[in-house]
Structure 1
Amino acid sequence: MVQKYQSPVRVYKYPFEMVMAAYERRFPTCPMIPVFLGSEVLSDVTSDDGATRVVERSCQLSVDAPRLLKKKNTLSWRDRTLVIQAHNQTYNNRLIVTETCRYSVHPENESWTCFEQSASLDIKSFFGFETTVEKVAMKQYTANIQTGKEVIEFYLKELMSEGVTSIPRWTTSNPQPLTSTTPAPPCSLHLGSTGQSELSGFRENCIRDTGTPEGDKLEAEYLECYLGDLTPIQESCLIQLRSWLQDTHNGKIPKDEHILRFLRARDFHLERAREMLGQSLSWRKQHRVDYILQWWSPPSVLEEYYAGCWHYQDREGRPLYILRLGHLDTKGLLKALGEEALLRHVLWINEEGQKRCEENTKIFTRPITSWTCLVDLEGLNMRHLWRPGVKALLRIIEVVEANYPETLGRLLIVRAPRVFPVLWTLVSPFIHDNTRQKFLVYGGSRDYQGAGPGGLLDYIDNEVIPDFLGGACLCQWSEGGTVPKSLYQSQQQQESPDDRLLTDTIYQSAHCFTGAPHEIMIEILEGSSVITWDFDVLKGDLIFNIYHSKRTPDQPSQPPSEHTPAPQTRPDQPPQHPSPPDQT
């Protein structure tokens, strides 16, 4: 496996010519990069008009392998770009290191300079330890990336201190950029009254109302403002996974914070995160989860007897959800609504939680990607361990774990009764280790109210804690309670098309034997309709054809008229007008 690294776009708020002058000061040696011992110029060729300069260097590094790198710098003053290509010269029969860096003008501000970096490392032969060596070498490589970013900033400040505040651009009459001491516009990063970095015109144009760039590149400043501090490897994994989605995913591309949750759930193992995210996106598309906040609202039974709601936020700005699980009539809710409706409600809560995280990120001007859940278990007893109820709970946990990883920042369980260990024994095997580490359980005593280490006041302000837990908030919400049997529904009513979530989808599944056809008839109700389709095949290859007929099946032919039914599929006879897939 080849280890790859892709950096976000780093923006230097200085003109390209100034950045190039700072870059040249790195050679022949750079004390700020200890592993860089020195460099030797192998060739230096400048075009006749002075617009292009190509420099090849041999660089010596203070590492065991590889010791020598060969760099080729192609500088175009006309296009204001610098492309750096590097590869190792030593040990190239065992490993191959390649690196590409690019400096260019910011697309929306010609006084700023963008920097991108990508690298790959491929171990050809290393005594059976290829994968381990790749990971270690890439980790050492990325450890020096931050230093490399700081070097340019250091030399830029050094130039400014020497009075070099601007450098003229290349022109045919001025082939070589010259230094001057003319005042330059301020290039430092300004902070607004809100404490957030001012966004460039490029970002203002590219960021959606959710704060996610529309383009295929991510700026380092955007990552810091909206996603938090990430290591270079973590940034690279996010960019690679996002790029893979843009290249392969036909549907809606998820937001960056959503992608990041799946990477964190799989410890930034790119392949495992990609598999998990791909399955989740197919699930969301199949069951129309992306639009659940628009097309579904809790039924009146849930509004009256479901004791849970969103309630302000915790001390860290995370949205807070409070659930009085001990006050829920699990059996009554299942009898009145069915398992599908309860699952749908949990998905609705999770989608609402992600929406609130985005809103709080803007309010508190720092990345908030998870929420806190406070669960009150007062009243929990053996009736809550009703087998169908536990089965429904396990299914809900399974769906949430697979599709909403790393959305729970902390789970506070208070007033846990003696029966809680029995419930925990049943459900804990279905909860991921990373999630279990976020659980804090308090017994039936009132110690959770204290301000000591681990008390509720460490995580939630007293003004937010509900009065039934000893707090100061007199909030109004459903107390739960027993669901009247008059609201119970039959199994057929619970599984009606209006109530089902996961049993009715926009897709059809079929088991096809080798060589056996599977035919589907689709009625076209409007003449301007467009048919779209996709397949998710588990095994084997699939060949398909599309036919259309102007006659309704099992009806005699009749001349066309204004009352003729709209065209529809006729799978049981040869088509009159075959339509190839690429023309549908």
Structure 2
Amino acid sequence: MVQKYQSPVRVYKHPFELVMAAYERRFPTCHLIPMFVASDVVNEESSEDGSTHRVERRCALDVDAPRLLKRIAGVDYVYFIQKNTLNRKERTLHIESHNETFSNRVIIHETCCYSVHPENEDWTCFEQTASLDIKSFFGFESTVEKIAMKQYASSIKKGKEIIEYYLKELEEEGITHVSRWTPSTISLPSSRPTSPSTNTPDIPRLAVIPAVSVPLSTEDNKLDADYIKRYLGDLTPLQESCLIRLRIWLQETHKGKIPKDEHILRFLRARDFNMDRAREILCQSLTWRKQHQVDYLLETWTSPQVLQDYYTGGWHHHDRDGRPLYILRLGQMDTKGLVRALGEESLLRHVLSINEEGLRRCEENTKVFGRPISCWTCLVDLEGLNMRHLWRPGVKALLRIIEVVEANYPETLGRLLILRAPRVFPVLWTLVSPFIDENTRKKFLIYAGNDYQGPGGLVDYIDKEIIPDFLAGECMCEVPEGGLVPKSMYRTPEELENEDVRLWTETIYQSASIFKGAPHELLIEIIDASSVITWDFDVCKGDIVFNIYHSKRAPQLPRKDPLGAHGITSPGGNNVQLIDKSWTLGQDYSMVESPLTCKEGESVQGSHITRWPGFYILQWRFHNMPACSATNLPRVDDVLATLQVSSHKCKVMYYTEVLGSEDFRLARLSSVGSTHTNQHALFLST
């Protein structure tokens, strides 16, 4: 496979003729490039008017390769043929080089060009591209590729430094100007020093390249190296090459708006600069943006009033690194109420608008702080988080939002500070962490309780003056305080007909009828102690009491027969009893949680960390059931009689899940450990 590399445009803030004088001093050898052993001119010619000069050189390189590889190859030096064409009239120098050694096994081709800056004729541009095609090399193809990549990166890095070194040398010798070519005059690199009166004025040090994300010239595939460093950050030569090549590919193949360089770079970073993988996810994201008109979201999206009043998130200054700071008071947010009032799509749209606003703020801060700022910091306050936040449609909405954001906004989160994580946090973390990219998880810093106020806490990342008042700071924060969304704002079932919330309720929730004297029970087998049983149920009708029991032996499951010997199944098939009437509480089974009374219309979420393996029974029973009925079930005839009394019927919709003990312990360690003594654990994936 042919590997291709392309460097950004390097700009020398000196005239072309002076740069050419500096370039000629690289030959026949250059002490700044130890591997450049020698060069011999094998052919040289000039046009009649002297405007064009061609030179062909044979160059010897002492490649930095393992000695064993050199012995196997049978060579000490690698020879290259370099052909230079200098056009003094057009003010260009084109350089082509290829390897002479091992040309039947490895093909290396490199092209370079010096030309006049398109916007300032007193500046000179330099561009470089290369290709590598390894057909065979004694079984060391991978090693040779790595060596070639290393040499290319070194060449790119050294090239500009060498020219600038010789430019300074010329200046010290008094050569600060070389006349341009005219039909009657040939300017040679050995031009005599000129007097100060004939020198050109000092070249301004401010680039004429606009300070925005635009290319160097009208040829949109050109990027300036100084622009990359100023607006995109320090990149290795190979990373620069990936950015430019992917940008060119998009311009040649993509139909539609070409994303900004910062956007392309995020996808490359997300895939460790693997061109093929980055190109795949970027193209998918560009298609998604076009389908959903995301480019126009900030101009077209208006948050519903319920979001403005009850969505507890907002932008708040910036962190110590200049990154925009977003604060989310998740513990104060009524996630269930927002999903019920808005539906998933509106919530997703709102989160996308936050991400788009974050990108805009990064661009602004890049200009303000004079350095590349490509991501933001998010501070999540979990005070008030409880099992109510684990309402399953809400969790699934969160998972979908995470999936969409991960796919379309990679490398936009610089740091996530999670504060005041309560004991219930490990349950939420265990549910959502598998859907978060590993590189993203490394950016999470979690504090339990008030640990964030001490050494290594919030002040390490946010200036003390802007810490919000609700975090014991002095800065007033305009993030809404949240609260419960009034049920009067909930959307009706008809309005949610096409929403995923209704579908989730039908597919992941089970319904059960509860009669006076006939509770509904669910069996869960636990193999590993310290596993976590979670539940989420809505009381649709009537008042119920919720219990959890443990037994070392398995109850006999009821037969499908409605009048099974060990339980009763209602005609609808949604009432199951498991506790045998012969069992005695305290002997055959035990209660592991205090009874919980739940009223009609309530939504209940909770969890239980199991202490022993065995069988756990979740029970929903009629609220007015006599206390003894849990241990001594009524006769079948009595229960059948109660089925006819509609006022003695309750209904619940429930969902349960068991979280593995290993995952839960890891999450719990991360959330409740001391940030001072257990710093490594807080990073979760480091």
Q: TM-score range by the shorter chain?
A: 0.7 to 0.9
Residues 50-69 of structure 1 deviation map (CA, whole Å, 9 limit, x = unaligned)? 11111000000011577111
- Contact 1:33–1:148 (8 Å) recurs in 2: no
**1:346 paired to 2:377:** no
* Greater shift in the superposed pair: 129-138 or 336-345: 129-138
Counterpart position of 1:457: 459
Using the TM superposition, give the Cα deviation of residue 426 of structure 1 relative to its aligned residue in structure 2, in angstroms. 1.0
Which amino acid is 1:59 matched to?
C
**What is the CA–CA distance in structure 2 between the aligned matches of 1:127 and 1:61, rounded to whole Å?**
20
Using the TM superposition, give the Cα deviation of residue 85 of structure 1 relative to its aligned residue in structure 2, in angstroms. 0.1
Alpha-carbon RMSD: 1.8
Counterpart position of 1:537: none
Counterpart position of 1:429: 434
**What is the CA–CA distance in structure 2 between the aligned matches of 1:464 and 1:212, rounded to whole Å?**
37
**1:30 paired to 2:30:** yes
Counterpart position of 2:422: 417
2:150 aligns with one of 135, 139, 155: 139
Using the TM superposition, give the Cα deviation of residue 216 of structure 1 relative to its aligned residue in structure 2, in angstroms. 2.2
- Contact 1:101–1:118 (8 Å) recurs in 2: yes
SS of alignment partner, residue 363 of structure 1: helix
**1:234 paired to 2:266:** no
1:482 aligns with one of 462, 481, 484: 484
**1:325 paired to 2:330:** yes
**What is the CA–CA distance in structure 1 between the aligned matches of 2:125 and 2:215, rounded to whole Å?**
19
- Contact 2:315–2:327 (8 Å) recurs in 1: yes
Residues 151-190 of structure 1 deviation map (CA, whole Å, 9 limit, x = unaligned)? 0000000001001110111111113443432333355663
Which amino acid is 1:155 matched to?
Y
- Contact 1:3–1:135 (8 Å) recurs in 2: no
| Unpaired stretches in structure 2, ≥5 consecutive residues | 71-76, 502-686
Counterpart position of 1:448: 452
Counterpart position of 1:3: 3
TM-score by length of structure 2 reads 0.68
Counterpart position of 1:521: none
Counterpart position of 2:200: 185
**What is the CA–CA distance in structure 1 between the aligned matches of 2:279 and 2:416, rounded to whole Å?**
27
Residues 124-167 of structure 1 deviation map (CA, whole Å, 9 limit, x = unaligned)? 11355535542442133212321121000000000010011101
**1:311 paired to 2:316:** yes
Counterpart position of 1:93: 104
**What is the CA–CA distance in structure 2 between the aligned matches of 1:129 and 1:120, rounded to whole Å?**
18
Which amino acid is 2:329 matched to?
R
Using the TM superposition, give the Cα deviation of residue 418 of structure 1 relative to its aligned residue in structure 2, in angstroms. 0.8
Counterpart position of 1:531: none
- Contact 1:166–1:182 (8 Å) recurs in 2: no
Counterpart position of 1:259: 264
SS of alignment partner, residue 144 of structure 1: helix
SS of alignment partner, residue 50 of structure 2: coil
Using the TM superposition, give the Cα deviation of residue 255 of structure 1 relative to its aligned residue in structure 2, in angstroms. 0.5
Q: Judging changes above 3 Å, is the alpha-carbon distance between structure 1 residues 273 and 333 closer, same or farther for their aligned structure 2 residues? A: same
Which amino acid is 2:83 matched to?
K
Counterpart position of 2:495: 493
Q: Judging changes above 3 Å, is the alpha-carbon distance between structure 1 residues 2 and 374 closer, same or farther for their aligned structure 2 residues? A: same
**What is the CA–CA distance in structure 1 between the aligned matches of 2:318 and 2:428, rounded to whole Å?**
28
SS of alignment partner, residue 14 of structure 1: coil
- Contact 1:166–1:179 (8 Å) recurs in 2: no
Using the TM superposition, give the Cα deviation of residue 490 of structure 1 relative to its aligned residue in structure 2, in angstroms. 2.1
Residues 230-257 of structure 1 deviation map (CA, whole Å, 9 limit, x = unaligned)? 1111111110011011111111111100
**1:171 paired to 2:176:** no
Q: Judging changes above 3 Å, is the alpha-carbon distance between structure 1 residues 492 and 67 closer, same or farther for their aligned structure 2 residues? A: farther
Aligned positions, number: 483
Using the TM superposition, give the Cα deviation of residue 47 of structure 1 relative to its aligned residue in structure 2, in angstroms. 1.2
* Greater shift in the superposed pair: 226-235 or 141-150: 141-150
* Greater shift in the superposed pair: 1-10 or 487-496: 487-496
Using the TM superposition, give the Cα deviation of residue 472 of structure 1 relative to its aligned residue in structure 2, in angstroms. 1.2
Alignment of structure 1 residues 345-384 onto 2, 5 Å: 345-384=350-389
Counterpart position of 1:53: 53
SS of alignment partner, residue 185 of structure 2: coil
Richer in strand (by share): 2
* Greater shift in the superposed pair: 133-142 or 56-65: 133-142
* Greater shift in the superposed pair: 121-130 or 19-28: 121-130
Using the TM superposition, give the Cα deviation of residue 477 of structure 1 relative to its aligned residue in structure 2, in angstroms. 2.9
Using the TM superposition, give the Cα deviation of residue 95 of structure 1 relative to its aligned residue in structure 2, in angstroms. 0.9
Using the TM superposition, give the Cα deviation of residue 297 of structure 1 relative to its aligned residue in structure 2, in angstroms. 1.4
Alignment of structure 1 residues 209-224 onto 2, 5 Å: 215-224=220-229
1:391 aligns with one of 370, 390, 396: 396
**1:296 paired to 2:298:** no
Residues 185-233 of structure 1 deviation map (CA, whole Å, 9 limit, x = unaligned)? 355663xxxxxxx231xx23xx66x556663211111111111111111
- Contact 1:320–1:371 (8 Å) recurs in 2: yes
**What is the CA–CA distance in structure 1 between the aligned matches of 2:284 and 2:145, rounded to whole Å?**
28
User: Rg larger in 1 or in 2?
Assistant: 2
SS of alignment partner, residue 476 of structure 1: coil
Using the TM superposition, give the Cα deviation of residue 110 of structure 1 relative to its aligned residue in structure 2, in angstroms. 1.1
**What is the CA–CA distance in structure 2 between the aligned matches of 1:12 and 1:136, rounded to whole Å?**
29
TM-score by length of structure 1 reads 0.80
- Contact 1:3–1:138 (8 Å) recurs in 2: no
Counterpart position of 2:93: 82
Percent of aligned positions that are identical: 67
**What is the CA–CA distance in structure 1 between the aligned matches of 2:214 and 2:49, rounded to whole Å?**
44
Counterpart position of 2:588: none
SS of alignment partner, residue 50 of structure 1: coil
Which amino acid is 1:185 matched to?
T
SS of alignment partner, residue 380 of structure 1: coil
**What is the CA–CA distance in structure 2 between the aligned matches of 1:342 and 1:135, rounded to whole Å?**
47
**What is the CA–CA distance in structure 2 between the aligned matches of 1:118 and 1:317, rounded to whole Å?**
35
**What is the CA–CA distance in structure 1 between the aligned matches of 2:140 and 2:384, rounded to whole Å?**
56
SS of alignment partner, residue 372 of structure 2: coil
**What is the CA–CA distance in structure 2 between the aligned matches of 1:179 and 1:235, rounded to whole Å?**
39
Using the TM superposition, give the Cα deviation of residue 447 of structure 1 relative to its aligned residue in structure 2, in angstroms. 2.1
- Contact 1:106–1:113 (8 Å) recurs in 2: yes
**What is the CA–CA distance in structure 2 between the aligned matches of 1:388 and 1:135, rounded to whole Å?**
50
